[in-house]
Amino acid sequence: MNLMMFLGNDLLEAVPLDKDSIPIPGYLGNLKRSLKEKYRLILNQCPEPPEFLVIGPSTAKRSFNHS
């Protein structure tokens, strides 16, 4: 599972999450604050705020048919 930080269509960073810590109040908030601080200079130059998305491990398998 990852916490992903986007600015517009650009992925700035994906941080792995500890599944056991997700229910703990403030866990995701602290990670988001840390990412915002890390990318503060970039964020100050962009008028739109960053977006955050939590992505879980994909269970779908892709199959390609090479004909």
CB atoms within 10 A of CB 17: 17
- In a domain, residue 34? The reply is yes
Provide the number of structural domains found in the chain: 1
Instruction: Report the predicted TM-score, pTM, of the whole model to 2 decimal places.
Output: 0.78
Task: Report the share of the chain in percent with pLDDT over 90.
Answer: 82
* Amino acid at residue number 49: P
CB 31, CB 12: distance < 8 Å? no
- Specify burial of residue 37 (Cβ count, 10 A radius: 0-12, 13-18, 19+): exposed
- In a domain, residue 60? The reply is no
- In a domain, residue 6? The reply is yes
Identify the domain containing residue 42 by its residue range.
2-55
In the chain, how long is the greatest CA-to-CA distance?
51
Encoded tokens for 58: 């994909």
- In a domain, residue 47? The reply is yes
| Residues 8-38: tens digit of each pLDDT | 999 999 999 999 999 999 999 999 999 999 9
- In a domain, residue 62? The reply is no
